[in-house]
Amino acid sequence: MKQRENPILVALDVPTAERAVRLAEGLSPHVGGFKVGLELLTGPGPRIIGVLARLGKPVFADAKLHDIPNTVKAAARHLGVAGARWITAHAAGGKAMLASAVEGLTEGAGARRAGVLAITVLTSLDQESLAATGVSASPGRLTARRARLAAAVGCEGVVTSVKELAVISDVAPGLVTVVPGIRPPGVSADDQVRTATPAGAMSRGADYLVIGRAITQSPDPATAAKEILATMNGRISGLR
Ligand code: C5P
């Protein structure tokens, strides 16, 4: 495990900047960072990244970029300028596209530290749905190939399901792993199919956990975050 600080990245899946900022202000002392997804990036827009970053925690812009290299580079640069600590890009876009994402983000971030997290295989795709798109490899093999590609072009890490953590540590152990689909014991799975508990994901080698509704839809989000941290006691050290 490379991560030694608070591993919780809260997914702020809310429609307005006001709600995102209000939630983030209350949660900031108890979490490791914030994730903004397509809802905030296409609604309030990328400026929300800078607003959240001013709270002092890293902001992960889950933009899931996938286009020709030149366009991805420009978009990644904008996200870097906006203050993103991490951005996502689809490894399916190919080596040159991933490399352009890294280049653009690095340019945009300037002196600030920033890295690309590659999406290896969407967790919503199984073998059958991959085959229907013409991809015959199994999700595991595809993850391995794409993780190697991500590492080769200088991506900082990957977003991966808990199931694929072992594959990543086999083929590209230097990559940071960010795992969604996390549910504390006893909390509804909602629409997630493959879930893991926070402690379970950490013990299988996750560096960061993306946690959304289990925190944001709790009547008391800060307490929910603190309770999740408590369930991970002993699996992470040096918590801030
Ligand atoms: O509310 P919940 O904890 O399920 O939120 C998970 C977050 O992680 C959402 O923002 C979702 O878009 C994101 N995500 C995911 N599965 C993936 C990639 C991202 O759930 N494979």
Model confidence pLDDT, tens digit, residues 42-95: 999 999 999 999 999 999 999 999 999 999 999 999 999 999 999 999 999 999
User: Which of these, 143, 116, 138, 114, lies nearest to 127 by C-alpha position?
Assistant: 138
CB 212 near ligand 1, within 6 Å: yes
Q: Which of 35, 64, 163, 226 is catalytic?
A: 64
CB atoms closer than 10 angstroms to residue 159: 26
Q: In one letter, which amino acid is 70?
A: N
List of the chain residues with pLDDT < 70: 1-4, 234-240
Asked whether the beta carbons of 140 and 164 are under 8 A apart, the reply is yes
pLDDT at residue 2 in the model: 47
Containing H/E element for 176? strand 176-179
CB 88 near ligand 1, within 6 Å: no
Ligand 1 geometric centre to CA of 162 (Å): 12
pLDDT at residue 109 in the model: 98
pLDDT at residue 201 in the model: 95
CB 125 near ligand 1, within 6 Å: no
Ligand 1 geometric centre to CA of 8 (Å): 13
pLDDT at residue 235 in the model: 55
Q: Which atom of ligand 1 is nearest to the CA of 37?
A: 10
pTM: 0.93
CB 37 near ligand 1, within 6 Å: yes
pLDDT at residue 238 in the model: 39
Indicate the DSSP class of residue 87.
Answer: E
Q: Which atom of ligand 1 is nearest to the CA of 183?
A: 3
Q: Which atom of ligand 1 is nearest to the CA of 182?
A: 3
> Residue 46 has which token pair?
């990328």
- The answer to whether residue 64 is catalytic is yes
